[in-house]
Amino acid sequence: MNKKKTDISSLRDKINKVDEGLIKLLSQRRTLSKEIIRTKEILNNPVRDQKRESELLNRLIKIGKKEGLDSHFISKIFFEIVEDSVRLQQNFVQSKLNRKEKSKETVNAVIQGIEGSYSYLAALKYFSYYNYELSFLFKKRFDEVIQSVEKGEADFAVLPIENTTSGGINEVYDLLLHTTLSIVGEEKFQVKHCLVGIGEVPLRKIKKIYAHHQAAAQCSKFLETMAHSAIEYFVDTAMSVQKISKEENVSYAAIASEEASKLFGLKILKSDIANQAENYTRFLIASRKPQKVDRRIPCKTSIVIATSHTPGSLVEALNVFRKFNVNLTKLESRPILGNPWEEIFYLDFEGNISDETIQKVLNELGQHTRFMKVLGSYPSQELEHTKLEYSKMITKKVDKGIIERTAELQAPVIKKTKSYRLASREYKIDDTIIKVKDVVIGGDNFVVIAGPCAVENEEMIMKCALETKENGAQILRGGCFKPRTSPYSFQGLGFEALNLLAKAGKYYDLPVITEVLDTEHVVDVAKRADILQVGARNMQNFALLKEVGKSHRPVMLKRGLMASIDELLNAAEYILSQGNRQVILCERGIRTFETATRNTLDLSAIPVLKELTHLPVIVDPSHAVGERNKVIPLAKAAKIVGAHGIMIEFHPDPPNSLSDPEQALYFNQFEKLMMELYKL
């Protein structure tokens, strides 16, 4: 036993030395990044060189694979390092542009709350890239925060403006309308709510929970399980922790951050209690004077407008952005106090106020508004991830040669009105483009959906997710609820499998798709899956089609075993008519007189569907033929005939798969398929 302890101690010492070496190397890289931006300034080069980043990332992945490291692990580290480098360089450029020669190195930031609050943590993150010595002023109310900067007591105000779960913070929006401050920056901070207590105590014994009203809204589902506890709203998350720390009552708890818990020496009773795991708050940084933004830096501008209270006035104003091809990133309305039923609008859009195009936008916008105020122009926190080489290859246009050019000359003429009005080209000429996280489905993009027929256990789905990510597929599939012909066949693990699928997708940053069978399951499945699948057997389950039509998630609709193209499009119409316009069609083979394969893959349906409908079309060759050795050629053929993507089944050990073992590819077969798809 003593020898084992000695061995562990020795290994830990080695790990500590490696970690220390990594820290020193990261510090050296930061120093080099600062030297590079000084050289870029002299040469007037762009802040980012994404072509160089892509080449570097691909080279590092090759090196990493030789060392036994997967590409996802390398990419995650690389993205963090590149983001740090870009922000350092952007802030260097900004500081040089806006600071005087004898600018002070100490700045005062004012927040609503105290040390340990989310505003405090967001401020630390934002200012960490500047060479400032930061000091804080703490206020109880948002109006006091703004007044503190207006009076010169503080240099910057840090204000939460919106949250991905609870939405906009109306009080701050209203204050921005009347303040003289300018927005000079933004910070997006991940909020991880915890239930904090003064000691270990069972949750059933908690009698009172202190919470900021926004935090309570973001954790409403957890609080529903704490019906025995009284909720008392508090002005700030960290202050609520301070409150229970002073009271020293073990039956009292608070909702706050892990950092606040550590600051006051308290215990975390339960972690991650927010309704959504991906819970972010966006903060605005404001100062007395506006700041210029270097034109090499992606920029965002915020304004507030009021239009005349007449039909079409808002549309006319918004059409200005379309005219100048300027992208709106946010539109928020607030009532005008004293003018019942009239609204004022807060807009964020991409662009630098010093650009000529943005000046034209603002000038013309003024013709369609009765009030307009620029709140600020500031660097955007939206940093685009470096693209791997396979992503560029997989999304390049397929050269359709003469067929494509002929189609341009002879556009299809639809002679009669279709029963599937919303799905038809008559209704919408342009292709529908569906974006799921960073994956674009439709248009000229070709996507690969891949994974096992059924999620069997955590180890298996994690292996499949890694295989999906490593080979450039963009979406992870996995069956959780399995509709089987025989009642004795494996029916899936249900919501247990769905949780595992969602976990694997989150870890490897992959959207996930799974089938939903029951109308009662739609809402719960939609909370975890990024795309809902309606299987072939349910193509004409109209109650289910209507229910997924009410969901906000994209829906992949599979063609029925005996369904015509017309019937498929009418089934899609059921979904579209309920309001969900994110429908993906899937050709997965139909039954014919031919019995050589499981089904007959109708590749002719692809060009026909693309002529009749604007909806994206995916091909599932795995279910079509049911034999793994025939999947690869059909998958390649699907891309050649113009499908927007394919869905492929694979398994770590196909013969022992619990579902459809004959059609699942081995990992090496899937890798071969992906390499051949790149070349098409």
pLDDT digits (tens, 9 = 90+) for 321-337: 999 999 999 999 988 77
- DSSP summary character for residue 590: B
Q: Which residues of 519-549 are buried (b: 16+ CB within 10 A; e: fewer)?
A: eebbeebbebbbbbbbbbebbbbeebbbbbb
Better-predicted residue by pLDDT, 187 or 9: 187
**C-alpha–C-alpha distance, residues 187 and 281, integer Å:** 8
Q: What is the pLDDT of residue 390?
A: 61
pLDDT digits (tens, 9 = 90+) for 559-586: 999 999 999 999 999 999 999 999 999 9
The pTM of the full predicted model, rounded to 2 decimals, is 0.80
Give me 488's structure tokens.
């004795």
* 125 token code pair: 């993150």
Q: Domain containing 253 — which CATH number?
A: 3.40.190.10
Residue 128 lies in a domain: no
281 has catalytic annotation:
yes
Distances, alpha carbon 199 to alpha carbons 46, 247, 259, in Å: 53, 12, 16
Mean pLDDT on 259-281: 90
Last residue of a domain, one of 383, 405, 434: 383
pLDDT score for 402 = 39
Instruction: Assess whether pLDDT exceeds 80 at residue 5.
Output: no
The residue-averaged pLDDT of 402-428 equals 64
Q: Which of 243, 273, 303 is the last residue of a domain?
A: 273
438 with 580, same domain: the answer is yes
pLDDT at 99 over 80: no
pLDDT of residue 1: 53
Handedness of CA 565, 567, 568, 569 (dihedral sign): positive
Number of domains, the chain: 3
pLDDT digits (tens, 9 = 90+) for 10-27: 898 999 999 999 999 999
| Contact in structure between 182 and 289 (CB atoms under 8 Å) | yes
pLDDT, averaged across the chain = 90
Mean pLDDT, residues 240-269: 92
* pLDDT tens-digit readout, 115-137: 999 999 999 999 988 878 899 99
The model's confidence at residue 396, banded by pLDDT at 50, 70 and 90, is: very low
Query: How many C-alpha atoms does 527 have within 13 Å on its Cβ side?
Result: 10
Please give the pLDDT value at position 196.
95
Say whether pLDDT at 395 is over 50.
no
Statement to judge: residues 557 and 663 lie in one domain: yes
What CA–CA distance (Å, rounded) separates 446 from 448? Answer: 7
CA 259/CA 118 separation, integer angstroms: 9
Residue 102: what pLDDT? 43
Q: Mean pLDDT throughout 520-527?
A: 94
Are 378 and 429 in a shared domain?
no
Asked if residues 425 and 452 have their Cβ atoms less than 8 Å apart, the reply is: no
Mean pLDDT of 197-204: 91
- The Cα-based distances of 427 to 103, 404, 417, 441, 612 in angstroms read 60, 22, 10, 20, 10
Are 554 and 429 contained in the same domain? yes
Q: What is the pLDDT of residues 60-74, one digit of tens each?
A: 988 988 898 888 889
Structural domain includes residue 598? yes
Report if residue 396 sits inside a domain: no
For position 387, what pLDDT does the model report?
73
552 lies in some domain: yes
Could you tell me if 221 and 297 lie in one domain? no
Quote the CA–CA distance of 649 and 631 in Å, as a whole number: 9
8 Å CB contact between 40 and 90? no
Q: Which of 239, 206, 255, 41 has the alpha carbon at shortest distance from 140? A: 239
Question: Backbone phi, then psi, for 442, in 5-degree steps?
Answer: 115, 180
Tell me: pLDDT of 414 over 80.
no
Mean pLDDT value of segment 340-348: 87
**Per-residue pLDDT reduced to its tens digit, 581-640:** 999 999 999 999 988 899 999 999 999 999 999 999 999 999 999 999 999 999 999 999
Mark whether 490 is an active-site residue: no
> Are 350 and 499 in the same domain?
no
Residue 124 in any domain: the answer is no
Residue 114 has pLDDT above 50, yes or no: yes
> For residue 302, what is the domain's CATH number?
3.30.70.260
Residue 678 has pLDDT above 50, yes or no: yes
Distance CA 298, CA 349 (A): 11
Mean pLDDT of 297-317: 92
Single out the catalytic residue among 165, 237, 281, 307.
281
Q: What is the mean pLDDT of residues 436-446?
A: 94
Would the pLDDT of 309 be above 50? yes
Distance CA 367, CA 527 (A): 43
Same-domain status, 235 and 324: no
Q: With a cut of 90, say whether residue 357 has pLDDT above it.
A: yes
Buried b (16+ CB within 10 A) or exposed e, 360-397: ebbeebeebbeebbebbbbbbbeeebbbbebbebbbee
Which pLDDT value is given to residue 401? 45
Residues 364 and 313: their CA atoms lie apart, in Å, by 13
In-domain check, residue 103 = no
pLDDT of residue 47: 87
Q: Which domain holds residue 654?
A: 422-482+490-679
| 197 vs 276, residue with greater confidence | 197
**Assigned domain for 452 exists:** yes
Single-letter residue type at 332: E
Whether 356 and 441 map to the same domain: the answer is no
Pairing of strands 106-112, 133-139: parallel
Binning pLDDT at 50, 70 and 90, where does residue 413 land?
Answer: very low
Contacts (Cβ under 8 Å, ≥6 apart) of 122: 158, 160, 187, 189, 281, 283
Written as one letter, the residue type at 195 is L
SS3 content of the chain, % helix, strand, coil (to 5): 40, 20, 35
Are 452 and 598 found together in one domain? yes
> Does residue 527 sit in the same domain as residue 649?
yes
> Are residue 374 and residue 522 in the same domain, yes or no?
no
Q: Which phi and psi angles does 188 have, rounded to 5°?
A: -110, 120
Across 288-318, b (16+ Cβ under 10 Å) vs e yields: bebbebbebbbbbbbbbbbbeeeeeebeebb
Q: Is residue 380 pLDDT above 60, yes or no?
A: yes
**Contact between 623 and 663 (Cβ < 8 Å):** yes
Integer Cα distance of 431 and 446 in angstroms: 14
pLDDT at 410 over 70: no
Q: Band the pLDDT of 394: cuts 50, 70, 90.
A: very low
For residues 370-396, average pLDDT: 76
Is residue 154 predicted with pLDDT exceeding 60? yes
Query: Which of 241, 273, 305 finishes a domain?
Result: 273
Regarding whether 613 and 582 lie in a shared domain, the answer is yes
pLDDT at site 48: 87
| Cβ(455)–Cβ(497) below 8 Å | yes
CATH number, domain of 665, equals: 3.20.20.70
Residue 392's pLDDT is 45
Q: Tell me if 114 is assigned to some domain.
A: no
Catalytic entry in 138, 283, 481, 667 = 283
